[in-house]
C-alpha cells in the first residue's frame, strides 16, 4: 500500500514538474515573441506566439498576447484561434466576447458573431454592439432586424456610409423602395467617392418609378466616376423612354449597342424607341436585324408591319401583322389593343 502511494506521489510530482517546465518554456518563448513583435519581425513573431501556446495550451498570457498580435497584424485566423482557446479556458471572461464578436464578423461567420454580441450585451446593456449585430442580420437576410439594429447604431455613428448603404439595401431587399432612398442619399453624402451608392439609388428611383430623379442620379453617378458601360446607357435610355423623350432614349440605346453590339434586347428596345419617335424606317431596319438573328420573333415582325402602316403602306403592313399573328396567336390581343388606341 505504501509503495502504491509512493508511486502515485512520484507520478504527480513528475507531472507537476513537467507542467511547470512547459509553462517556463512557454513563457520563455513568449518573451522572444514579444521581442520579435517589437522588432517588427512579423512572421517570426507569429511563429513564436504559436510555439509558446504549443508548449502550454493553458497559458492565458500567451493566448492573450497571440490574439492581440493577430489583431494588430490583421492575421484574423490566428487571433480567432487564440481568443477561442482563451474563451474555452475562461468561458465567462467578457474580454473574449467583444473580441470574438468582431473577429467572427470580419471572417464572415455571422451566426458566431451574433452569439458573442449577445453574450457581451447581456453584461453590457449600456454598450450594445448595434453595428456588428445589424450587419450580421443583414448578411443572414434578416432585414427587419438589420434595419432595427443599424438605425440604433446610426444614432451615435452619423458618418458611416456603409451602415447607411446597408439600411438602404435592406429596405430594397424588402421592396420598400421609397424608404430605401433617404439612406442611399445619406450613404452618398457620407462617402462622395463611392459612385455605387448613387448608381444603385438611381436604379431604386427607376423601380419606384421616378424617372426624372433616376436620370439626375444616373448622371451624378457618372460625374463621380461610375463606369458608363452598356448597362448604364440602357438603364438611362429606359428612363427617357418612359418620359416620352425618344430622342434621348434612342441616343442612349445607340451608345449601349456600341458597347454590346450583339444584344438583341437592346436592339429591340432601340427599334421601339425609333418607332415611338416617328423614325419608322430606322425602326424597321433594326427589327429586321432582330429577325436575322431570330426569325421566329413574331413580335418584331408584327411591329415591322405596324411601322409600314405608319409610313402609309397599309396593305403591306397589315399582311405582315397577320403573318406575325399566325406565328404567335397571342399577338391578336396586341392588334386589338392598338386598334382601340387608334394606332
pLDDT at residue 187 in the model? 98
pLDDT at residue 48 in the model? 86
**Residue with the three cell numbers 493577430:** 70
Q: What is the 3-state secondary structure (H, E, C) of the chain?
A: CHHHHHHHHHHHHHHHHHHHHHHHHHHHHHHHHHHHHHCCCHHHHHHHHHHHHHHCCCCHHHHHHHHHHHHHCCCHHHHHHHHHHHHHHCCCCHHHHHHHHHHHHHCCCHHHHHHHHHHHHHHCCCCCCHHHHHHHHHHCCCHHHHHHHHHHHHCCCCCCHHHHHHHHHHHHHCCCHHHHHHHHHHHHHHCCCCHHHHHHHHHHHHHCCCHHHHHHHHHHHHHCCCCCCHHHHHHHHHHHHHCCCHHHHHHHHHHHHHHCCCCHHHHHHHHHHHHHCCCHHHHHHHHHHHHHHCCCCHHHHHHHHHHHHHCCCHHHHHHHHHHHHHHCCCHHHHHHHHHHCCC
pLDDT at residue 334 in the model? 65
pLDDT at residue 32 in the model? 87
- Residue 57 phi/psi, 5° resolution? -70, -10
Residues 110 and 103: their CA atoms lie apart, in Å, by: 10
Residues 201 and 216: their CA atoms lie apart, in Å, by: 11
Residues 164 and 274: their CA atoms lie apart, in Å, by: 40
The hierarchical CATH code for the domain 26-91 is 1.25.40.10
Give the list of residues 6+ apart from residue 235 with CB closer than 8 angstroms, or none.
Answer: 202, 203, 206, 214, 218
Instruction: Calculate ∠ Cα 167-168-170, nearest 5°.
Output: 65
Q: Which cell goes with 337?
A: 389593343
- Residue 195 phi/psi, 5° resolution? -70, -20
**Residue with the three cell numbers 513528475:** 14
Instruction: Calculate ∠ Cα 38-43-47, nearest 5°.
Output: 95
pLDDT at residue 335 in the model? 57
pLDDT at residue 173 in the model? 97
Q: Does the model's pTM come out above 0.85?
A: no
pLDDT at residue 34 in the model? 83
Q: Is the distance from CB of 78 to CB of 46 less than 8 angstroms?
A: yes
Q: Which cell goes with 53?
A: 501556446
pLDDT at residue 343 in the model? 45
Q: Which cell goes with 299?
A: 413580335
Number of C-beta neighbours around residue 213 at 10 A: 17
Please report, in tens digits, the pLDDT of each residue of the chain (343 residues total): 445 544 454 443 334 444 445 767 888 888 888 888 788 887 888 788 888 878 788 888 888 888 888 888 888 888 989 999 999 999 988 889 999 999 999 999 999 999 999 999 999 988 999 999 999 999 999 999 999 999 999 999 999 999 999 999 999 999 999 999 999 999 999 999 999 999 999 999 999 999 999 999 999 999 999 999 999 999 999 999 999 999 999 999 999 999 999 999 999 999 999 999 999 999 999 999 999 999 999 999 999 999 999 999 999 999 999 999 999 999 987 655 554 444 4
pLDDT at residue 326 in the model? 94
Amino acid at each position: 500500500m505504501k509503495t502504491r502511494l509512493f508511486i502515485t506521489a512520484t507520478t504527480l510530482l513528475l507531472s507537476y514538474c513537467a507542467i511547470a517546465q512547459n509553462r517556463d518554456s512557454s513563457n520563455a518563448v513568449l518573451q522572444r515573441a514579444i521581442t520579435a513583435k517589437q522588432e517588427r519581425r512579423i512572421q517570426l513573431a507569429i511563429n513564436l506566439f504559436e510555439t509558446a501556446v504549443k508548449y502550454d495550451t493553458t497559458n492565458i498570457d500567451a493566448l492573450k498576447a497571440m490574439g492581440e498580435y493577430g489583431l494588430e497584424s490583421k492575421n484574423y485566423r490566428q487571433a480567432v484561434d487564440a481568443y477561442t482557446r482563451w474563451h474555452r479556458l475562461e468561458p465567462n471572461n467578457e474580454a473574449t466576447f467583444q473580441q470574438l464578436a468582431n473577429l467572427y464578423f470580419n471572417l464572415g461567420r455571422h451566426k458566431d458573431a451574433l452569439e458573442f454580441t449577445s453574450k457581451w450585451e447581456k453584461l453590457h446593456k449600456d454598450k450594445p454592439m448595434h453595428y456588428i449585430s445589424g450587419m450580421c442580420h443583414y448578411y443572414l437576410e434578416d432585414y427587419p432586424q438589420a434595419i432595427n439594429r443599424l438605425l440604433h447604431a446610426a444614432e451615435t455613428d452619423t458618418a458611416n456610409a456603409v451602415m447607411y448603404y446597408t439600411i438602404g439595401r435592406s429596405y430594397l431587399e424588402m421592396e420598400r423602395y421609397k424608404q430605401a432612398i433617404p439612406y442611399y442619399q445619406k450613404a452618398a453624402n457620407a462617402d462622395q467617392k463611392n459612385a455605387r451608392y448613387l448608381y444603385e439609388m438611381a436604379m431604386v428611383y427607376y423601380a419606384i418609378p421616378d424617372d426624372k430623379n433616376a436620370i439626375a442620379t444616373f448622371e451624378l453617378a457618372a460625374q463621380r466616376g461610375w463606369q458608363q458601360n452598356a448597362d448604364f446607357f440602357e438603364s438611362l435610355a429606359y428612363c427617357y423612354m418612359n418620359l416620352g423623350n425618344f430622342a434621348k432614349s434612342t441616343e442612349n440605346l445607340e451608345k449601349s449597342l456600341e458597347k454590346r453590339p450583339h444584344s438583341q434586347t437592346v436592339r429591340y428596345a432601340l427599334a421601339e424607341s425609333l418607332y415611338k419617335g416617328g423614325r419608322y424606317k430606322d425602326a424597321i431596319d433594326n427589327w429586321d436585324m432582330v429577325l436575322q438573328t431570330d426569325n421566329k420573333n413574331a413580335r418584331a415582325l408584327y411591329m415591322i408591319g405596324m411601322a409600314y402602316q405608319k409610313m402609309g403602306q397599309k396593305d403591306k403592313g397589315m399582311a405582315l401583322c397577320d403573318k406575325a399573328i399566325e406565328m404567335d396567336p397571342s399577338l391578336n390581343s396586341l392588334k386589338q389593343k392598338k386598334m382601340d388606341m387608334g394606332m
